[in-house]
Amino acid sequence: MTEAEPASPAKALLLLPVLLLLAMFFASAIHLFSSGFTDDNGWSLRYFRQIVNRPDYHVVFARTILSSLVVSVLSVVLSYPIALLLWRTDRWRNTLLIVVLVPWLVSLVVRTYGWLVLLGPKGVINAMLAWVGVIDQPLALMFNDLGIIIGLTHVLIPFAVISILSSLLAIEANLEEASGVLGAGGYQTFRYIVLPLSLPGAFTALMVIFLASIGAIVTPILLGGMSHQFVGSQIYQEVMYTFNINKAAAWSICLLSISFLSLLLLKLIERRLIKGQE
Partner 1 sequence: MSSMNRLAKVLGIVLLASLPAPIMIVAGASFSDSSYIQFPPEALSLRWYRETIIDPRWPRAFAISIGIAAVTAVIVTAFNFMAAYYTQRYAPRIASALELAIFSPLFFPHAAMGVAMVALIAKLDLIGTAPGIILAHLIVTLPFSYRPIHVALRSIDPDLIRAANVMGASEWRALNDIVLPMCRSGILTSLLFAGIISFDEVTVTMFLIGPNITTLPVQIFSFVQDSATPVLAAISTICVLVTFIAVLVLDRVAGLAFFVRRDGA
- E runs forming strands in the chain: 38-39, 42-43
Exposed / middle / buried, residue 42 (Cβ in 10 Å: 0-12, 13-18, 19+): exposed
161 within 8 A of 79, measured Cβ to Cβ: yes
Rounded distance, CA 237 to CA 245, Å? 10
Which 36-75 residues touch partner 1, going by CB under 8 A? none
Among 139, 239, 266, 270, binds partner 1 (CB under 8 A): 239
Rounded distance, CA 237 to CA 244, Å? 9
Instruction: Give the count of residues interacting with partner 1 (CB under 8 A).
Output: 96
116 within 8 A of 123, measured Cβ to Cβ: yes
- Shortest distance in whole angstroms from residue 154 CB to partner 1: 7
Give strand pairing partners of 43.
38
Identify which of residues 4 and 181 has a Cβ nearer to partner 1 in the complex. Answer: 4
Which 145-174 residues touch partner 1, going by CB under 8 A? 154, 157-158, 162, 165-167, 169-170
- Shortest distance in whole angstroms from residue 128 CB to partner 1: 9
Among 51, 147, 231, 237, binds partner 1 (CB under 8 A): 231
First to last CA, the chain: 34
Rounded distance, CA 198 to CA 165, Å? 8
Rounded distance, CA 151 to CA 133, Å? 26
- Shortest distance in whole angstroms from residue 69 CB to partner 1: 14
Identify which of residues 58 and 186 has a Cβ nearer to partner 1 in the complex. Answer: 186
Q: Is residue 15 at the binding interface for partner 1, with CB under 8 A as the rule?
A: yes
Which 79-98 residues touch partner 1, going by CB under 8 A? 79, 81-82, 84-86, 88, 94, 96-98
Among 48, 73, 103, 145, binds partner 1 (CB under 8 A): 103
Rounded distance, CA 79 to CA 157, Å? 6
Among 132, 134, 182, 240, binds partner 1 (CB under 8 A): 240
Q: Is residue 235 at the binding interface for partner 1, with CB under 8 A as the rule?
A: yes
- Shortest distance in whole angstroms from residue 38 CB to partner 1: 12
- 3-state class of 39 per DSSP? strand
Identify which of residues 85 and 139 has a Cβ nearer to partner 1 in the complex. Answer: 85
Q: Which stretch binds partner 1 (CB under 8 A): 1-9, 43-51, 52-60, 172-180?
A: 1-9
Q: Is residue 11 at the binding interface for partner 1, with CB under 8 A as the rule?
A: yes
Among 124, 195, 269, 274, binds partner 1 (CB under 8 A): 124
**DSSP codes of every residue in 89-141:** -STTHHHHHHHHHHHHHS-HHHHHHHHHHHHSTTSHHHHHHHHHTS-SS----
Rounded distance, CA 27 to CA 9, Å? 26
Identify which of residues 51 and 253 has a Cβ nearer to partner 1 in the complex. Answer: 253
